[in-house]
């Protein structure tokens, strides 16, 4: 069942095809509610330009990953600084990048290079509730939706192309939308999401009240 409603329209209708432009995409769930933290990428019809790798950080702080979603171009190097007073064991069994960083603290650990596109799900082996995703993008045009479900892509060339939308709770493969060459409304991507896995966070020793969240 893939009830995808697609209505794409270039916002900058009438602009020259090569001119850099702005692309907004709206992401909702099947009930029409805006979906936050969806990664929207755009592949121009003429082929995506080469991406420039960069350095990024996936911080562990307060026994949480920050940010929960990190989008990096292919080939980027990501550091995993641990700013907690306990060690973490960061791992991934995702096929674009399988790795694990056994128990460490501080920033001394070597950065990890993400050289294949795709989604890498991160976990901490000793803290089950710590979950984060690194989206390794093969295109420079990407954005993450906000609380209003809107993702704003900048510097997108005008003209047709394919919009892809991914979310951590997405069932199945990323949703693809065709962006027509000429104008139109804001494209809306409707995602079929699975329920969130309830994860209990272990109580902090510093917290007097204790108990589970």
Provide the binding-site residues for other proteins, judged by CB under 8 A. Answer: 89, 91, 93, 98, 121-125, 128, 130-131, 168, 194-195, 197-198
Cβ proximity to other proteins: between 118 and 180 the closer is: 118
The nearest distance, CB 124 to other proteins, in angstroms, is: 8
Instruction: Supply the minimum distance, in Å, between the C-beta of residue 177 and other proteins.
Output: 24
- For residue 121 the two structure tokens come to 């799900």
Choice between 14 and 198, CB closer to other proteins: 198
Helix ranges (H only) for the chain are none
Looking at the Cβ atoms of 91 and 104, the one nearer to other proteins is 91
Q: Considering beta carbons, is residue 108 or 197 the nearer one to other proteins?
A: 197
Report the C-alpha gap between 165 and 151 in whole angstroms: 10
Least Cβ distance, residue 198 to other proteins (angstroms) = 6
Evaluate whether 42 touches 163 at the Cβ level (below 8 Å): yes
Which tokens sit at 42?
Answer: 């755009």
Q: Which of 7, 28, 25, 41 is nearest to 166 (CA)?
A: 41
Return the ∠ at Cα 202 (arms to 196 and 208), rounded to 5°. 130
The total of other beta-carbon atoms located within 10 Å of residue 119's CB is: 20
CA angle in degrees (0–180, nearest 5) for 99-100-105: 140
DSSP string, 83-99: -SSS-EEEEEEETTEEE
Q: How far is the CB of 6 from other proteins (least distance, A)?
A: 25
* Distance between CA atoms of residues 170 and 192, nearest Å: 6
Residue 14 or 195 having the CB closest to other proteins: 195
CB nearer to other proteins: give 98 or 154. Answer: 98
Least separation, in Å, of the C-beta of 89 and other proteins? 8
> In angstroms, rounded to a whole number, what is the distance separating the alpha carbons of residues 191 and 5?
10
Minimum Å distance from CB 30 to other proteins? 15
């Amino acid at each position: 069942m893939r009830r995808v409603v697609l209505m794409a329209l270039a916002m900058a209708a009438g602009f020259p095809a090569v001119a850099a432009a702005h692309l907004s995409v709206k992401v909702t769930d099947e009930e029409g509610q805006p979906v936050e933290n969806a990664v929207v990428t755009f592949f121009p019809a003429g082929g995506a330009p080469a991406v420039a790798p960069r350095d990024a950080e996936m911080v562990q702080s307060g026994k949480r990953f920050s940010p929960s979603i990190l989008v990096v171009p292919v080939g980027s190097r990501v550091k995993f600084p641990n700013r907690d007073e306990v060690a973490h064991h960061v791992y991934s069994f995702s096929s674009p990048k399988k790795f694990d960083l056994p128990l460490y603290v501080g920033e001394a650990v070597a950065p990890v290079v993400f050289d294949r596109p795709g989604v890498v799900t991160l976990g901490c082996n000793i803290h089950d509730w710590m979950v984060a995703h690194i989206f390794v993008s093969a295109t420079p045009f990407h954005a993450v939706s906000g609380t209003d479900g809107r993702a704003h892509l900048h510097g997108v060339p005008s003209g047709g192309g394919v919009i892809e939308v991914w979310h951590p709770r997405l069932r199945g493969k990323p949703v693809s939308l065709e962006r027509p060459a000429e104008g139109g409304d804001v494209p809306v991507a409707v995602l079929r999401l699975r329920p969130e896995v309830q994860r209990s966070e272990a109580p902090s020793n510093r917290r007097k009240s204790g108990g589970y969240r």
